[in-house]
Amino acid sequence: MIGVLGGSGAVGRTAVERLAGFGLPLRVGGRDRARAEAVAGPGGGDAVAVDLFDDDSLAAFCDGCAVVVNCAGPSYRVLDRVARAALAADAGYVDAAGDLVAVEALGDTPARHAVVFSAGLMPGLSGLLPRLLLDGTPVARLDVYVGGSVEISPASAVDALLTRGPKFGHALAMWRDGGVAAHSLAPLRGVSLPGFRGRVHAVPFLSAEMVMLASGAGVGELRNYTVYATENLPEAFATAWADQERPPEAHADAIVWAAARDVAAHGHHYAVLAYARPPAGSGLLPRRVLLRTPDSYRLSGVTAAITAREVAAGTVPPGVHYASEALDPRRTAAELAADALVSELAVPEPAR
């Protein structure tokens, strides 16, 4: 049985839909049992009221599951809590969010099953899809752009406000010659990028996921940008981070409002774009991968479901992983290309 915690949210509902489509038995958990029952549907699986911050409630939810999928948040409070409960119940674990901080919180906890963090769109697909360009063809430089125009929930806003510091990434930095080159890039304002609507603003942010990608693949230079439809969100984040008197959480409403203004003006759209530039004089042409979706939250649910299926099937070995490394890039891309939530997925042919 696959247990989906936070099954009545946007990410969780989609994870439940896809897992049910895979033919896997489900347990759907949420704070409100009636909402969980509505998601599970008639004959669609068990529906359980669960409080993830209550030890007994969480343990009861995990008991009997082969894999526990966490689609609840906020991730800055969840950290390794659900992962530990899943492992204690002798289950595998998939987190649609989670990052280096959650992995470090889990520490050296023995993992007899696969534990996979960052199984969403970003982080997750944002680190997986660029790997399609690192298949043996020489790459001198990799440029990655992720973002668009989506609503942001209050919990997600707080998560975003707290993702500062080297454990999350480095603002205005790139990866170059084996290390982080601090303060080496400037924002790109009013630029046109394939897959993104109109002119957008791309802010350099070398995430921990991109550091892991660049260092593991031996990429000489990697530039990663967060893409915004307008200046609304960058300005709201800058204001929050410059405020020395109040905690970042006090600015969550401003982040939610800025995102809502973008959606009102530009609609829902989100994209992952990666360019691989070959070495000078190689005679090779640049290659790219592009994914577009109208709903980044629901596509995170698709990614979490695919990851959970792989964990349940035993294709991910025991231990702690990130989805971008645990999933097969080409097989995952082929499956995503056929999904209704992907409006475009352009993938280059494998290198020969």
- Contacts by 43-52 with C-beta closer than 8 Å and gap 24+? 44/16, 44/20, 45/16, 45/20, 46/1, 50/5, 52/5, 52/6, 52/78, 52/81, 52/82
Domain spans in the chain, listed from the N-terminal domain onward: 2-120+297-337, 138-283
Distances, alpha carbon 225 to alpha carbons 148, 164, 229, in Å: 11, 15, 13
Which amino acid, 309? R
Contact call for residues 92 and 115 (beta carbons, < 8 A): yes
Note the pLDDT of residue 44: 63
Note the pLDDT of residue 255: 97
Note the pLDDT of residue 74: 84
Note the pLDDT of residue 166: 81
| Radius of gyration from C-alpha coordinates of the chain | 20
Rounded to whole angstroms, the Cα distance separating 331 from 327 reads: 8
Protein fold of 2-120+297-337: Rossmann fold (3.40.50)
**Rounded to the nearest 10 degrees, how much is the dihedral formed by the CA atoms of 60, 63, 69, 70?**
30
Note the pLDDT of residue 155: 85
Q: Does domain 138-283 have CATH number 3.30.360?
A: yes
Rounded to whole angstroms, the Cα distance separating 242 from 262 reads: 22
Contacts of residue 349, defined as CB under 8 A and 6 or more positions apart, other chains included, come to none
Helix axes 10-21, 33-40, angle to 10 degrees: 40
Q: What is the mean pLDDT of each run of 10 residues along the chain (352 residues)?
A: 94 96 95 90 81 96 98 90 97 95 91 95 97 90 97 90 86 96 97 96 96 92 98 95 90 97 96 95 92 97 98 97 97 97 92 63
Q: What is the DSSP letter of 249?
A: G
Closest CA to 118 of 309, 273, 324: 324
- Contacts by 188-196 with C-beta closer than 8 Å and gap 24+? 188/225, 189/231, 193/145, 193/227, 193/271, 193/273, 194/273, 194/288, 194/290, 195/271, 195/273, 195/290, 195/291, 195/292, 195/344, 196/145, 196/147, 196/148, 196/227, 196/269, 196/271, 196/273
Contact call for residues 43 and 69 (beta carbons, < 8 A): no
Q: Given the DSSP bridges, would you call strands 169-171 and 141-149 parallel, antiparallel or unpaired?
A: unpaired
Contact call for residues 177 and 219 (beta carbons, < 8 A): no
